[in-house]
Structures are given as structure tokens and as C-alpha cells.
Amino acid sequence: MRLQLAVLFLGLGALSGALHFAMLARDASLLLNRGTIRIGFNRSIRLFLSSGMLVLAALSGSLPLLAALAGIMAARQWAIGRYGPVS
């Protein structure tokens, strides 16, 4: 059961991390091109998405939390390769 929960949170961490870093790249692009009020909204969405998933993982135990963090770090590496430097 614990291993299944860890695998579930690994996937959830990767998904929420990919969304987080994709939205971060979009925010950086918006800020460089035409800073609008949508940046604040996007930041709020990123904060609630990432922190909510990490709180759920922490409530499930240490192994699911570590798996979720591993998923986020994997998504970070994916986002660096996908989006590269913002210009």
C-alpha cells in the first residue's frame, strides 16, 4: 500500500511540477514582454497547486512526500530542457 501511494505521489509531483514550471516560464515571458495583472493570478495558481499537493503528500507520510519531491525535481529538469532561457 505504501509503495502504491509513493508511486501515485511521484506521478502527482511530476504533473504538478510540470504545470508549475510551465506557468513559471509563461510568467517570465509575460513579465519581460508586457507585465500585466495576470502575472499575479498565475503566481497564486502556482502557489496553491504546488503547496496543496505537497501538503497532501506530507499528510500521507514521509515516503509519499519524498516521492512527490522527486517528481517535482524531475519536472524541473524537463522544464529546463523544454523552455530554456527566457528571452
Closest CA to 39 of 22, 21, 27: 27
Give the pLDDT score at 87. 60
**So where are the chain's domains?**
2-83
Query: 3-class DSSP state for residue 19?
Result: helix
CA distance 83 to 4: 31
- For residue 36, what are the contacts with CB-CB under 8 A and spacing of at least 6? 30
**How confident is the model over 58-87, as a mean pLDDT?**
90
> When comparing pLDDT for 32 and 72, which is higher?
72
- pTM, rounded to two decimals: 0.85
Q: How confident is the model over 5-64, as pLDDT tens digits? A: 999 999 999 999 999 999 988 888 888 877 677 777 888 889 999 999 999 999 999 999
Query: 3-class DSSP state for residue 84?
Result: coil
